[in-house]
Amino acid sequence: MELTSFKSIIDKYETIFFDAFGVLKNHHGLLPGIEQTFDYLEKKGIDYYILTNDASRRPQLLAEYYQGKGLKGLVEERIISSGMLAREYLQLKVDSGTIAYVGTELSAHYLEALGLHTIGMDEVNLKEADDINALVFLDDEGFNWNTDLNKCVNLLRQQNIPAIVCNTDRSYPESYTEVAIGVGALANMVEQVVGKKFIKFGKPDAQIFIFAYEHAIERGGTPDKKKILMVGDTLIMDILGGNKFGLDTALVLTGNTLAKNAEMRINTLGILPTFICDSAVIDA
Amino acid sequence: MELTSFKSIIDKYETIFFDAFGVLKNHHGLLPGIEQTFDYLEKKGIDYYILTNDASRRPQLLAEYYQGKGLKGLVEERIISSGMLAREYLQLKVDSGTIAYVGTELSAHYLEALGLHTIGMDEVNLKEADDINALVFLDDEGFNWNTDLNKCVNLLRQQNIPAIVCNTDRSYPESYTEVAIGVGALANMVEQVVGKKFIKFGKPDAQIFIFAYEHAIERGGTPDKKKILMVGDTLIMDILGGNKFGLDTALVLTGNTLAKNAEMRINTLGILPTFICDSAVIDA
Amino acid sequence: MELTSFKSIIDKYETIFFDAFGVLKNHHGLLPGIEQTFDYLEKKGIDYYILTNDASRRPQLLAEYYQGKGLKGLVEERIISSGMLAREYLQLKVDSGTIAYVGTELSAHYLEALGLHTIGMDEVNLKEADDINALVFLDDEGFNWNTDLNKCVNLLRQQNIPAIVCNTDRSYPESYTEVAIGVGALANMVEQVVGKKFIKFGKPDAQIFIFAYEHAIERGGTPDKKKILMVGDTLIMDILGGNKFGLDTALVLTGNTLAKNAEMRINTLGILPTFICDSAVIDA
Amino acid sequence: MELTSFKSIIDKYETIFFDAFGVLKNHHGLLPGIEQTFDYLEKKGIDYYILTNDASRRPQLLAEYYQGKGLKGLVEERIISSGMLAREYLQLKVDSGTIAYVGTELSAHYLEALGLHTIGMDEVNLKEADDINALVFLDDEGFNWNTDLNKCVNLLRQQNIPAIVCNTDRSYPESYTEVAIGVGALANMVEQVVGKKFIKFGKPDAQIFIFAYEHAIERGGTPDKKKILMVGDTLIMDILGGNKFGLDTALVLTGNTLAKNAEMRINTLGILPTFICDSAVIDA
């Protein structure tokens, strides 16, 4: 397995897409030195975006996290979340009535800002649910799984409305040793129980890459896919998705794929990054 | 689709296996007149058993339900539950330490009666879990899904112990209009998140049929599979399972498979009952 | 189930995407009267494209079929096939070496026109395969399944190269009564045997919709998704895919979804077309 | 990972079930010294059986292979194959008409010996197929995949008959470096294309363990599962299946599970053998 220095490859690209967790940050916060990477990108005039399966809050709040840690350039416009895709879907396809959701109130505020009317699943009365036109899975937190997931099942059985999953991740890291069940896994369970097809947004599906790609072009970025690099720590989300969209891809070993397993996982899955780098951190 | 009278076929058999829900009972209780079926079986000397995906309580309590409704012959020895298979597994394979479980205390009592030491997932401390030698999914009730399913995931990540699913049903009827998520669906979700292979007991897997078959033979029943009939309302559980085990099968239309859909479902799934009967109720 | 006249809805749109089989043609050839639909679209200045899971030949040849039947406006530029996505992938990601393929020579010619070097799986010698940089599933015809699918398995085991599936359809109609196994099903089988992740192009995946959308905009079409209609006969391919991409969708009953089953299938799958129309044929 | 000597554990058991490939033999033939294992078992009076997913020929021919190599005790009665389960199913459930099959003539002879009438898929005329009452997948060899698998699909579409899979293995080793697609993978593909539920026999399903268990008891073996050991090289077939049936299990490292990967695979899959042994070969 040949390792390449991250610094040695990025000069070739005009736009870089980064996964967030495992690439820029981990349980302790930002990766030490990652600010140098962004300083270098700014200096070289290389454009960059964060692509994240996250619908728990709106991009502005996601950006504030990075800015609060000193990454001043990571403004809202540089964040592309699966929640933004779901929001676009709802704007285009659900123009009236109420949207039932599971997740925190914070995640629902993001939808309400668009003028969509939302109701938490805990407040849904199945006997008076005729005006509910969609069910949205936003976050694993903020609701009672026992009661509200059962209500999701019965709402979808009694009404033929679309179910939208805003984050396909089945789990996410909670601490150095523990993971948490993600809203993607909860939605998959409800989908299997009701036997319907849900509409799902997030990596590795192509739609988030095209969203980021179009967004970058609108802001003056290159339309030449050969000049765009996807950087991620997860073969099946970041690298498979980036490859399929036609981008060059760099696997970093600071997150989900450990150095000791990387070669075996690449061979087993047959997912081939263009480059393998120790880290996205570059020395000043 | 040719319908056959249930009474006209049962005389050919020496042993009959019944599914419970949708065949003998529904949300209102026992099917009106079902006692006549059992009177007839007793009069004719035809042996019978209930095969049920249920691990929520021990067979004695399941039997008491029927007896309390007037089916005096439905004694404990006539109940074969998926919970009994799981219990046999635990007896054979987990001979020491503690068994963590999700489910009600009632469901755990059944395991404790064997001398197995159990602990509810809510009381498990992941930092002091070294003596836990198995995780058992017993029932969807009796625990907090938010906290305890996450604990299941992390227990299985930190310790290499078997996970046993005592009821593979993904959902079950709660009322005439509503269903509830079953422990089978919860276990499937945890299995997908941790990526391990769980050990699962219940129809349509062959093991519950062989358990019933051996149990019936021990009590003097016929070993000739041609003389045993499986009666059920669900093609994919009861009829597929019975067919594969080599039994004749009768689909009844009082439960999960509605008369108006039966032919289409049989053709779509390619699961062929030997007989289709309106109901397992026979006239006196 | 409310039926809408196709003619009554199309005036609202600036661009229309059509599925081919079951919408424009069937086993007998073009649907009688379908030319009137295209005459009307031309007269009204409504743009249109065909979106098809087909990699068996290049778009020019697909277009010639329609032109030969009298649809003179159906020029090559109006055809968007899954094969075009695969070709873009190969251009971007496989810039040297040889591409092994299964399919007809005709399907491979399409790749060779780009300067890619191809070799049929029947001519691959596994002992001298070091220069093979990708395996492409093009068509179910043109090769010996017994020998060549086994060679695919062993090629992917011995070399870590990407496998690309250019048509995800599992089957396709051969005559009024018979279907044929599609290359999508063959590729799925090889994928399961080798345990790797293949790269797959075709409906309902978002990428073909994106490709068509960008292509239409480049040719002067609207970027407003509210002004684009997807017309298809298959809920799970055309309608789910169109919905997810944010388009309005029209289900027609001339192909895969029969009038007598449409309502039941819509309810079972939970896939909701914006409109249901008898046919895409409109009266002059 | 603690290794145990195979000789040190077998004295505790009265019956031993062996997987064949990877345990007793490999591409070069029998494992050198394996005859000493059987000499020892004979001397100690320990009963033994071979459990194999093989329907390509009848048990007598499978036994002759071992006897020809010098294992004189490996008589037909010691062979339990998935083909025997399928044959029992056909005897019980398909008592008239013709059985269509894919596989070699040798594999079909085994069914014909029972008085069942068979026809190779190549000879089936779909226009005169009314007397075909089952479709059986016997072997990956002996037929043209291109034509005959398509005929399987259309036979199952036009007639509602059961499809039986006599060997669930997706692949099998052909040489030291190559594998071949197994009939289990071909059957899975046809099953997905037609959307029906097939009836499948073979490890890790409980039914083959039950069959062997009952067979051993009939021949005087112990009914005490604690006294039976399953020996295999494949975690997901042999060890999972044996564990679920309640048997002690020994993983050997001479086949599918390599010594260098064993611990990682056990942890990843969560399938726990009772013992791990270098080999089933014991020194004299």
pLDDT tens readout for residues B197-238: 999 999 999 999 999 999 999 999 999 999 999 999 999 999
pLDDT at B284: 61
Res C212 pLDDT > 70: yes
- In 3-state terms, what secondary structure has residue C3? coil
Distance CA(C17)–CA(C217), nearest Å, equals 13
Residue C268: list chain A partners with CB under 8 A.
195-196
Nearest residue on chain D to C180, judged by CA atoms?
A: D150
Would you state the structure tokens that stand for residue D167, as one six-digit string?
């060997």
Cα(D186)–Cα(D150) distance, integer angstroms: 11
Q: Tell whether A177 lies on the interface with B, counting CB pairs under 8 A.
A: yes
pLDDT at B273: 98
Nearest to B269 among D196, D207, D236 (CB): D196
Give the CA count within 13 Å in the CB-facing half-sphere of C64: 5
Q: Pick from D5, D37, D4: which is nearest to D284 by CA?
A: D37
Specify the pTM: 0.95
Tell me the per-residue pLDDT of C172-204, one tens digit each, with 9 for 90 and over: 988 878 999 999 999 999 999 999 999 999 999
Residue from the list A146, A157, A193 with its beta carbon closest to the beta carbon of B144: A146
Smallest CA–CA distance, residue D223 to chain C, in Å, is 37
Q: What is the pLDDT of residue C79?
A: 96
Enter the tokens of residue D5.
């000597």
Please tell me which residue of chain A has the smallest CA distance to B178.
Answer: A154
What is the DSSP pairing of strand C132-137 with strand C98-102?
Answer: parallel
Chain A interface includes B171 (CB < 8 A): yes
**Mean pLDDT confidence for D49-72:** 92
Closest CB from D162, D246, D266 relative to B270: D162
> Which pLDDT belongs to residue D284?
61
pLDDT, residue D43, reads 96
Q: Locate C251 and state its tokens.
A: 């289900």
Assess C189–D contact: CB distance below 8 Å, yes or no.
yes
Q: How far is CA C108 from CA C114, C120, D139, in A?
A: 10, 8, 32
- Specify whether the CB–CB gap between D48 and D75 falls below 8 A: no
Taking the Cβ of residue A246 and every Cβ of chain C, the question of whether any pair is shorter than 8 Å is answered with yes
Hey, CA dihedral for C40, C45, C51, C56, is it positive or negative?
A: positive
pLDDT in tens, B231-262: 999 999 999 999 999 999 999 999 999 999 89
A270 and C163 in contact by Cβ < 8 A? Answer: yes
Token pair belonging to C265 = 């299938």
Instruction: For tokens 């296996």, name the residue.
Output: B17
ipTM of the complex: 0.94
Contact D188 C192 (CB under 8 A): yes
Neighbours of A283 (CB within 10 A): 10
| C267 touches D at CB < 8 Å | no
DSSP code, position D252:
E
Could you tell me what percent of chain C has a pLDDT over 70?
100
Q: Confirm or reject contact between A185 and chain B (CB < 8 A).
A: yes
Radius of gyration of chain B (CA): 19
Counted across chains C and D, CB pairs separated by less than 8 A come out at 63
Ranges under pLDDT 50 in chain A:
none
Mean pLDDT over C108-118 rounds to: 87
CA distance A66 to B24: 61
pLDDT at B175: 83
> Which residue's entry shows tokens 């406006």?
C73
Q: Is A186 on the interface with B (CB under 8 A)?
A: yes
Residue A72: per-residue pLDDT? 93
Nearest to D193 among C157, C181, C193 (CB): C181
pLDDT at A283: 78
User: What average pLDDT is seen over chain C?
Assistant: 94
Instruction: For residue A196, give the nearest of C161, C225, C269 by CB distance.
Output: C269
Confidence class of residue C284 from pLDDT cuts 50, 70 and 90?
A: low
- Strands B179-181 and B171-173 turn out to be antiparallel
For B104-127, write each residue's pLDDT tens digit.
Answer: 998 998 888 888 899 999 999 999
Flag if B246 and D88 touch (Cβ within 8 Å). Answer: yes
Question: Which of the four pLDDT bands, split at 50, 70 and 90, describes residue B192?
Answer: very high
Contact status of D158 with chain B (Cβ, < 8 Å): no
- Whole-number pLDDT of residue B208: 95
Model confidence pLDDT, tens digit, residues B26-69: 988 999 999 999 999 999 999 999 999 998 888 999 999 999 99
**Helix, strand and coil in chain A, % to nearest 5:** 40, 20, 40
Q: Per the CB < 8 Å rule, is C179 touching D146?
A: no
Does the CB of B156 have a partner CB in chain D at under 8 Å? yes
Mean pLDDT lowest among B135-149, C104-118, D38-52, D57-71: C104-118
**Contact at CB, A205 and C205, closer than 8 angstroms:** yes
Residue B154: its pLDDT value, please? 97
β-partners of residue D132 are D98
Q: Contact, D276 vs D26, CB < 8 A?
A: no
Cβ D92 vs Cβ D134: under 8 Å = no
The strand pairing partners of A200, in sequence order, are A165
C269 has pLDDT over 90: yes
Check D154 against C181: CB less than 8 A apart: no
- State pLDDT tens for residues A209-239: 999 999 999 999 999 999 999 999 999 999 9
